[in-house]
């Protein structure tokens, strides 16, 4: 009890401390737990799928870009070399 | 709940850890249920609102800030859901009926005499709480029963702490008057 301004023997403090704890029935407790854990798992799956999708996209785009830029560089080098010999 | 443990649980829940949910669920479920059942005075309604409160927590966990305090967050959601339920059902009275006499409660291991005396006091307090206006009842439940500080309760209401302290003072006086009036000797005098 955090109502520290109350006097000892206070009728309200005494009364509220007489109240017992309650809980939902066990089957409802389990149902709520199952629904929440399922919701958390669904969220994790969605996040993982999004992560995989991004990883897959990066998986082909990065090598393609590197290959393209490499080809451009090589073409330019060859053309300059040819220009020197002409 | 220890603040460091709470902060770790918030971080793990935000990351989607089911074990963090389990720990929070075990720590706060009975408290939330007691709060909801004493607000609504109906177990079926309290069970539905409890379920919705927990679903809100897991579906909105990513929006929790790293320093979120779980108790005020959960009680705020539970209270708002209860107020929405009241509005949707057009519950026009600020006072509610007394608890179902078949209210199940765990045994405390008292002697039969102590158990009877405690049950009588509990019955009178529950009845007195039920006769209070909603705003008095909820502040007493949050601070007097759930052990929140007036500042934490102020977070639940979205009001300044000084306003909540004043409301708490008034609610205490009203509850004390109701409890005193319900004493057998008081009722005998009145009769």
Would you write out chain B's pLDDT as a tens digit for each of its 191 residues? 788 999 999 999 998 899 999 999 999 999 999 999 999 989 999 999 999 999 999 999 888 999 999 999 999 999 999 999 998 886 555 555 555 544 545 455 667 777 787 788 888 999 999 999 999 999 999 999 988 999 999 989 888 999 999 999 999 999 999 998 887 766 666 65
The per-residue pLDDT for range A10-39, each reduced to its tens digit, is: 888 888 888 888 899 999 999 999 999 999
The per-residue pLDDT for range B101-147, each reduced to its tens digit, is: 445 454 556 677 777 877 888 889 999 999 999 999 999 999 999 88
Burial of B118 (0-12, 13-18, 19+ CB in 10 A): middle
Chain A residues with beta carbon closer than 8 angstroms to that of B33: 22-24
Cα distance from A52 to chain B (closest Cα, Å)? Answer: 17
Cα distance from A34 to chain B (closest Cα, Å)? Answer: 10
Give the distance between the most distant pair of CA atoms in chain B.
Answer: 62
CA angle in degrees (0–180, nearest 5) for A33-A35-A40: 95
Tell if the CB–CB gap between A18 and B125 is shorter than 8 Å.
yes
d(CA A19, CA B180): 16
Q: Is the ipTM of this complex over 0.90?
A: no
What pLDDT sits at residue A70?
A: 95
Tell if the CB–CB gap between B59 and A11 is shorter than 8 Å.
no
Taking CA atoms, what residue in A is nearest to B129?
A16
Chain B residues with beta carbon closer than 8 angstroms to that of A43: 16, 58-59, 61-62
pTM of the full structure = 0.75
Query: How far are the Cα atoms of A5, A50, A73, B4 from residue A2, in angstroms, in the given order?
Result: 9, 46, 74, 20
Structural element, H or E, at residue B16: none
């Amino acid at each position: 009890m955090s109502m520290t301004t109350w006097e000892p023997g206070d009728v309200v403090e005494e009364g509220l401390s007489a109240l017992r704890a309650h809980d939902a029935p066990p089957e409802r407790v389990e149902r709520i737990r199952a629904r929440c854990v399922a919701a958390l798992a669904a969220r994790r799956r969605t996040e993982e799928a999004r992560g995989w999708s991004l990883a897959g996209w990066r998986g082909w785009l990065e090598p393609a870009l590197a290959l393209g830029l490499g080809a451009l560089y090589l073409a330019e080098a060859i053309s300059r070399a040819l220009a020197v010999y002409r | 709940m220890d603040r460091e443990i709470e902060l770790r649980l918030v971080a793990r829940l935000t990351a989607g850890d089911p074990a963090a949910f389990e720990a929070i669920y075990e720590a706060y479920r009975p408290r939330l249920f007691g709060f909801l059942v004493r607000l609504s005075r109906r177990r079926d309604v309290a069970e539905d609102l409890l379920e919705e409160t927990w679903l809100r927590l897991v579906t909105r966990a990513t929006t929790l800030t790293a320093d979120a305090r779980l108790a005020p967050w959960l009680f705020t959601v539970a209270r708002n859901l209860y107020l929405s339920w009241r509005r949707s059902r057009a519950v026009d009275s600020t006072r509610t009926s007394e608890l179902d006499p078949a209210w199940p409660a765990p045994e405390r291991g008292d002697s039969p005499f102590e158990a009877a005396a405690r049950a009588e006091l509990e019955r009178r307090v529950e009845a007195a709480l039920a006769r209070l206006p909603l705003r008095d009842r909820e502040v007493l439940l949050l601070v007097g029963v759930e052990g929140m500080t007036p500042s934490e309760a102020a977070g639940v209401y979205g009001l300044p702490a000084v306003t909540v302290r004043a409301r708490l003072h008034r609610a205490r006086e009203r509850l004390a008057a109701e409890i005193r009036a319900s004493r057998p000797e008081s009722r005998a005098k009145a009769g």
